Amino acid sequence: MQDDVLFVHGGSPLEGEVRVKGAKNLVPKAMVAALLGQEPSRLRNVPGIRDVHIVRGLLQLHGVAVYEGDEADELVMDPSSVELANVADIDAHAGSSRIPILLCGPLLHRIGRAFIPDLGGCRIGGRPIDFHLNVLRDFGATVDKRPEGLFLEAPNGLHGAKIELPYPSVGTTEQVLLTAVRAEGTTELRNAAVEPEIIDLICVLQKMGAIISVATDRVIRITGVERLGGYTHRALPDRLEGASWACAALATQGDVFVRGARQLDMMTFLNVFRQVGGAFQVEDDGIRFWHPGGRLRAIALETDVHPGFQTDWQQPLVVALTQASGLSIVHETVYESRLGFTSALNQMGATIQLYSECLGGTPCRFGQRNFQHSAVISGPAKLHGADLVIPDLRGGFSYLIAALAAEGTSRVHGIDLINRGYEGFHAKLDALGARVELPEPVREGVA
C-alpha cells in the first residue's frame, strides 16, 4: 500500500514538545468496563488510536451507544441496551486486536453468552490465551472452541473463585477483575499483575461500585456486587508512549518535552534513562528528556512485570543503547520473541548479537526453551538508512527512532501498525522537526 511507507531522512535531533494522552493499555479496557454498568460512563483523555476505534466498534455491535462527550477527547458509552451481536459482524474484527477476549466476563454477566473471534495483537511471542480460558472456567463459564472462534456460556451464572496465576499476566488479571466484580461471592487472585494501567482499571471499577482490594503481595480480592453504575474517569497518561519519545530524544541527541508524562508511572524507566546518561527534568505537567552531550553508557538490563522495567520500553531503549559506549546486555523475560526486531538494526550498522541463554540476570522461564531472548549490544554504532519493514507496534516505533538517528534516508514500510498505539505520530514527528515524508501519490495509470 502506497501510503503505508514513510521516508525518514535521519541525522538531525528531535527538538520540541509532544503531548501524550490516555494509555493505550488502559483506555480500551476501561471502555470494556463500561459494558458492566447500568448507566452511561464517561472516559476522558481518550487518544485517537486504532485500538480505541476497534473497541468502539465492538461495543456498538453489542448495543452500546458510543459518542463524543462535551469535553475534548471524551467518550460517552451508554450500555442500557446491551444485546448479543451477530457472530458474522464480530468475526469481521477477527485478528484486529487482543481486547475482544476481555469482553467475555462482561457479556456473560449482561447477556449470558459471548462469542470471541480469533485474536490479533503484536507478534512478539506465542501470546496464548490459556490463562484467560482457565480463569473463565474457574468462574463457571463453559468454553466451546469452534473454527470461527470461542463460544462461551454461563449456564449457572458466574461465581467467585480462588485463582493463582502461573505468571502475573496483565490481560488475565484484567479478565479476572472484569468478571469477578459482578460474580456471586468473593474472588481471590494470587500472583496478579499490578501494572499502573491495572490499578487505573481498578479505580474505574471502584467508581462503578465494585469492591476491590490490592494487597502488597500481589493478591487482589474482589467482592462481587449485584449492580454497577457508570463512571467518569480521566485515563492515566501513556507511560509507554512517553518512554518512546524519551528514547527518540536520546538516540537523536535531541531535547523533547513530553507533556502529560507522569513521574510516578515511569520511575523505573527514569532510573535506567539516567544510568544510560540521558537527562530529564520532571515538571508539573510533563517531563523533559534530553541528551546532555558526551558519551552514553552501556548497561545491563532485564525486563520484568511492574515495578520492573516494562517490556514495552525495551525496544525503543535498545535503539538508544546502540549509541552507548561498550557492551550493553538486555534480557527480555516477558515475551520470548521481542528481540527479533534487532536484525533490522544490524542491517543499519548496529552490532547486536542474540542469545538463547538468560544473560546478565536471573534465569527466566525462556532459558531452557531455545528462544533468543537475550541481546548483547556493542556500541556506539554509526547507523545508516535502510529499507525497514515494521514487525510490531513498539518495534515499529523503534525503527522510526533508528531511522531518525541514522545518516541518510530510510524507507519504513508498514507504518500503519504504529497507528494502533501512537496517536498522530506523523504530525508529532513533524512538530519535533523530523524530516519525514510520505511518498508522492501514485498517478493514475502509473504502475
Residue nearer to ligand EPU on the CB measure, 5 or 136 = 136
Residue 428 has phi, psi (to 5 degrees) of -65, -40
Bond preceding residue 155 cis, omega within 30 of 0 = no
Minimum CB distance to ligand EPU, residue 93 (Å): 14
CB 301 within 8 Å of CB 330: yes
Residue nearer to ligand EPU on the CB measure, 290 or 313 = 313
Active-site residue, 122 included: yes
Minimum CB distance to ligand EPU, residue 129 (Å): 5
Minimum CB distance to ligand EPU, residue 260 (Å): 17
Q: Scanning the structure block, which residue is given the C-alpha cell 538486555?
A: 330
C-alpha cell at 228: 454497577
Residue nearer to ligand EPU on the CB measure, 9 or 127 = 127
* Cα dihedral 292, 295, 297, 298 sign: positive
User: HEC string of 368-435?
Assistant: CCCCCCEEEEEECCCCECCEEECCCHHHHHHHHHHHHHCECEEEEECHHHHHHCCCCHHHHHHHCCCE
C-alpha cell at 365: 522461564
Minimum CB distance to ligand EPU, residue 295 (Å): 30
Residue nearer to ligand EPU on the CB measure, 334 or 404 = 334
Which residues, other chains included, contact 253 with Cβ-Cβ below 8 Å and sequence gap of 6+? Answer: 13, 291, 293
Minimum CB distance to ligand EPU, residue 403 (Å): 19
Residue nearer to ligand EPU on the CB measure, 122 or 381 = 122
Which residue ranges make up the site for ligand EPU (CB under 6 A)? 24-25, 98, 122, 125-132, 167, 169-172, 193, 195, 240, 311-312, 334-335, 393-394, 421
C-alpha cell at 70: 462535551
Name the residue whose CB lies closest to ligand EPU: 171
Selecting among 104, 122, 247, 358, the annotated active-site residue is 122
Q: Any idea how long the chain is? A: 447
* Active site amino acids: 122
